[in-house]
Structure 1
Amino acid sequence: MKTLINLLLLFSFFTVFSQENKQIKDSIGKDILDNSYFVIENTLYKKAPNNLNSYKNISLGDITSIDLINSLEIVLFYSDFNSVIILDNQLNVIENIQFQDTILFVKKGITNKLWIYNYDARKIQLYDYKIKKATISSQVITDFEPIKMDGDFNSVRLIGANKTLVYNQYLNLIDTINH
C-alpha cells in the first residue's frame, strides 16, 4: 500500500510539473535592450526584465510577419487583411494601415516608412505611413516570384527560389545574386 501511494505521488508530481511548461510557438528575437519577443497563439509578447507586455488583434487574423529592426516602431503584418499595425516599445498601437492592393511582404524602412512588395503592381515600394502613400517605387518586376523580403533602413532584398534582387534606398536595382 505504501508503494502504491509513493507511485501515485510520483506520477502526480510529473503531471503537475509537465503542465507548467508553456510552449513558445515562435521566438521572434531580442532588441538592443535585451528584451525578448515571442508569439503564442497569435499574441505578440515582449518580455522585459521587470514586466511582460502583450498585443493581440483577433479581427485581423494571424500575424504574417513581425519586424523588430526598430524596437520603438515594431511592424506587424497581417496578410489576410492587407493590414499593418505599428506598435511602440510598450506594444501600444501607433498606426493602423489598411492597404487596398495585395501586399505580400512588409519591412521597416527609415523613419515613418515601410518597404512593401505590392503584388498587384509587381513592385517594391517605399510607403510613407504618415502621408499614406508610396513615395518611391521600383521598376515592374517580371519573370520573378518572390518568396521572402528582407530589408534594413537603407536597402531591401527580394528573395526568390533562384536569385535575390538587391535594391538601394532609392529602389534602384544594384545587384542580382544567383543561388
Structure 2
Amino acid sequence: MKSLVYIIYFIAVLIGAQESVAISHTKSSTIIGDNIIGIDNFGTIFYTKGSTIYKKDKDTTISYNNLQLGKLTTVNSFNPLKINVFYQELNTVIILDNRLAEIFKIDFNTIDNYKNVSHISTGYDNTIWLFNQDTQLLEVFDYKTRSTKAQTFKPIDSPILDLESNYNYAYLLTEHELLVYNYFGSSVKTLKNEGYTEIAEVNEHLYFKKGDNLFYLAEDSKTIIPVKTNNILISQFFVTNETLYIYNDETLQEFQIKK
C-alpha cells in the first residue's frame, strides 16, 4: 500500500514539474526605439530613444527629455498619470503627468535626509519605492512631504537586480532571492533566485527572465513554472493583463498568454 502511495506521489510530482504556461503569437509591429517602457490597456506605447521618452497612441506622439539631468536610468509607467523618471547619475527623480509634463522633481542630494538611490518604482498615492544604497534598505518615500513613510527592517546585503511594484507590494529581485514587501515594509514572501535577472509584475502575478527564457509565478503560489517561448530571442519583455510583449531589434511581438 505504501509503495502505491509513493508511486502516485511521484507521478503527481512529475506532472506538476511539467506544468507550463503556453503563449500564441498574435501580431508584430515595428517601433524605432531603444527601450519599450510599457503598453497600456488602450494600446498606448511608452518607449525611449536616447534620453527622450515617447508616448504614442493611434493619433499622436508626444515626448519628454531633460538634457540637464543626463542619461535616463529607468522609466516606470505603471501609473500613467504619475510616470516616474529616474536619473541615477544625478540622484534625481522626475514625476510626469499623462501629457509628459513635469509635475514634481525630487533631488535626493538636496533633501534634509540625504539618500543615495539606486532603484525606484511606483508606490501608492504620492509615494515611490526606492532602494537606499547607504542604508541598504527599501523605503516608501512620499515625494510631496519629502519624508519616508515606511522602510524594510533588515538591510539587504545581496546586489539588487530589479525592482517592480504596484500600489500594495514591492518585488525586489536580488542575486540570491526574490523579496516581497507590503507598503508597511514588512516581508510577506521570500523565494530563492534560480538565476533570474529581471521581473515583471501584473495584477500581483510575476514573470521572470533567465537568459532567453521566461517563467511565471502565480500570486498565491511559491512554484515558478516555465513559459513556452520556443527559444525566441528576448531583449526586453513586459506583460499587460493577459498579453506578453517581447521586443528585439525594433520588432515588438505580441503574444496571448494561455494559462
In structure 2, what is the equivalent of residue 15 of structure 1? none
Q: 1:148 pairs with 162, 177, 187, which one?
A: 162
1:29-178 map, 5 Å? 29-100=38-109, 101-178=115-192
Instruction: Return 5+ residue gaps in structure 2 as ranges.
Output: 1-29, 110-114, 194-259
Aligned-residue CA RMSD (Å): 1.5
For 1:33 and 1:92, the matched residues in 2 are separated by 20
For 1:168 and 1:23, the matched residues in 2 are separated by 37
The structure where strand makes up a greater share of residues is 2
Once the 2 structures are TM-superposed, how far is the Cα of residue 22 of structure 1 from its aligned partner? 7.7
C-alpha distance 22-147 of structure 1, shift in aligned 2 (>3 A):
closer
Larger RCO: 1 or 2 (CA < 8 Å, sep 6+) = 2
C-alpha distance 93-27 of structure 1, shift in aligned 2 (>3 A):
same
Once the 2 structures are TM-superposed, how far is the Cα of residue 80 of structure 1 from its aligned partner? 0.5
For 1:22 and 1:71, the matched residues in 2 are separated by 20
For 1:112 and 1:90, the matched residues in 2 are separated by 18
C-alpha distance 140-27 of structure 1, shift in aligned 2 (>3 A):
same
Instruction: Return 5+ residue gaps in structure 1 as ranges.
Output: 1-20
For 1:40 and 1:32, the matched residues in 2 are separated by 22
Once the 2 structures are TM-superposed, how far is the Cα of residue 150 of structure 1 from its aligned partner? 1.3
SS in 2 for 1:94: strand
In structure 2, what is the equivalent of residue 10 of structure 1? none
C-alpha distance 142-113 of structure 1, shift in aligned 2 (>3 A):
closer
Once the 2 structures are TM-superposed, how far is the Cα of residue 33 of structure 1 from its aligned partner? 2.5
| CA distances 1:76-130 after superposition (whole Å, capped 9, x unpaired) | 1110011100000000001010013210111010010100111111111100011
C-alpha distance 22-127 of structure 1, shift in aligned 2 (>3 A):
closer
For 1:67 and 1:150, the matched residues in 2 are separated by 9
C-alpha distance 167-51 of structure 1, shift in aligned 2 (>3 A):
same
Q: Percentage identity across aligned positions? A: 28
More moved, 116-125 vs 138-147: 138-147
Once the 2 structures are TM-superposed, how far is the Cα of residue 49 of structure 1 from its aligned partner? 1.7
Runs of 4+ that moved beyond 2 A: none
Given the two structures, how large is their TM-score scaled by the length of structure 2? 0.59
For 1:22 and 1:173, the matched residues in 2 are separated by 39
Aligned residues: 159
For 2:185 and 2:50, the matched residues in 1 are separated by 36
- Retained in 1: the 8 A contact 2:178–2:190? yes
- Retained in 2: the 8 A contact 1:24–1:39? yes
C-alpha distance 148-175 of structure 1, shift in aligned 2 (>3 A):
same
